[in-house]
Amino acid sequence: MNPCPKQIPIKLTGKAKTEFRRAVAERAKYHCEDCGRYAPSLVYGVFDVFNCGHVAHIKRRNVGGDVMSNVLWKCYNCHIGNEHGPRWSHKGA
């Protein structure tokens, strides 16, 4: 018997994921936790991936899960541009 069973990470979907995203943005006061730039969750009521904030996982989602201690609120440039590289950037397209 394994005394420390492996914990299954929490992966939110649907309304729970939306509420989690809102809570992360509110925790950061809608500012990027890397550069400090304003990064709203919605731009003029329309989702705009290039001008809004992103939930960025510290550890991969399938390892650390969707928990407040495993995420940061980041602007598009800090999340996509710096972490994922130009392949994912709208500038590289």
2 in any annotated domain: no
pLDDT band at 29 (very low <50, low <70, confident <90, very high): very high
Question: What residue numbers bound the domain in which 22 lies?
Answer: 14-84
25 in any annotated domain: yes
93 in any annotated domain: no
Q: What residues contact 72, with CB distance under 8 A and at least 6 apart?
A: 24, 28, 33, 34, 55, 56, 58
Structural domain tally of the chain? Answer: 1
Q: What is the CATH number of the domain that holds 29?
A: 3.40.1800
6 in any annotated domain: no
58 in any annotated domain: yes
Least confidently predicted of 5-9, 60-64, 69-73: 5-9
Kindly report, residue by residue over 7-27, the tens digit of the pLDDT: 788 899 989 998 999 999 999
Kindly report, residue by residue over 35-51, the tens digit of the pLDDT: 999 998 875 556 666 77
Q: Is the pLDDT of residue 82 over 80?
A: no
